[in-house]
Structure 1
Amino acid sequence: MDDAARCPCLTGLPYGECCGPLHAGARAAGTAEALMRSRYAAFAVGDAAYLLRTWHPTTRPSSLTLDPDQQWRRLDVLATRGGGPFDDDGEVEFVATFRSAVGAGAGAGAGRGRLHEVSRFVREGGRWFYVDGDVAG
């Protein structure tokens, strides 16, 4: 992704000043919300390696394949609990909207969707990790 383009996490900052340095390993997320936003942006740009690196080892899958036909469109952070720079755990509630396989030849799963989740994070060794989340209906 172009560093000058608006970051997919919708902070309003350019990718190169927002999630880009986190994806590149140049810096770590300072809060649980920052990690959640950077993980959303990783889904948007197709960076499965970053998603795996920021997933807690106790819950991380052995591999992750992203759907190239799924386009993440919008992120709305609804609430946070803890997860600040001096916390060791936190939760972030968000809604992420996506569009998938729209167009000619698209199957029954094509169209728009949304993911409403309360994600849990922990900080270990000064780094935040995604642990798991509860998907809301």
Structure 2
Amino acid sequence: SAFAVRDEAYLLRSWDPETRPAEVDFDPGMRWDRLEILGATGGGPFHTEGTVEFRAHYRVHGAAGELHENSRFRRDRGEWVYLDGDIER
């Protein structure tokens, strides 16, 4: 959702400090349409790590596309943060 509304401040706050980029480069020709959550592991109140598998649908200059990723998250000072992800091709 943060990518869809281009909320760079939120993305940077919720990204693990070890893997966070200095800035988020949004493609002005890209529009995110919908997000499908395909699966998840961990992420409960007693976990320190978790994963989310998703498929994000988008349009770039009118052409449809999708991003399929297995993302890893971890707790940082009690908050869930995005660590990294493996993109399926």
TM-score with structure 2 length normalisation?
0.94
Higher strand residue share? 2
Question: In structure 2, what is the equivalent of residue 86 of structure 1?
Answer: 46
Identity rate, percent: 52
RMSD: 0.9
Deviation at 1:115, TM superposition (A): 0.3
| Contiguous gaps of at least 5 residues in structure 1 | 1-40, 103-110
Counterpart residue identity of residue 73, structure 2 = F
How many residue pairs match? The answer is 89
Query: d(CA) in 1 for partners of 2:42 and 2:65?
Result: 28
Query: d(CA) in 2 for partners of 1:127 and 1:56?
Result: 10
Question: In structure 2, what is the equivalent of residue 118 of structure 1?
Answer: 70
SS at match of 2:68: strand
- The structure showing larger relative contact order (alpha-carbon pairs under 8 Å, at least 6 residues apart) is 2
Superposed, 1:4-15 pairs within 5 Å as none
Q: Which has the larger radius of gyration?
A: 1
- Is the 1:46–1:68 contact (alpha carbons within 8 Å) kept by the matching residues of 2? no
SS at match of 1:50: helix
- Is the 2:29–2:61 contact (alpha carbons within 8 Å) kept by the matching residues of 1? yes
Moved over 3 A (4+): none
| Contiguous gaps of at least 5 residues in structure 2 | none
Query: d(CA) in 1 for partners of 2:47 and 2:34?
Result: 27
Cα deviation, 1:34-90, whole Å, max 9, x if unaligned, reads xxxxxxx11011111111111101001111121122111111101101012221100
Higher helix residue share? 1
Superposed, 1:1-137 pairs within 5 Å as 41-102=1-62, 111-137=63-89
Counterpart residue identity of residue 60, structure 1 = R
SS at match of 1:45: coil
Counterpart residue identity of residue 90, structure 1 = G
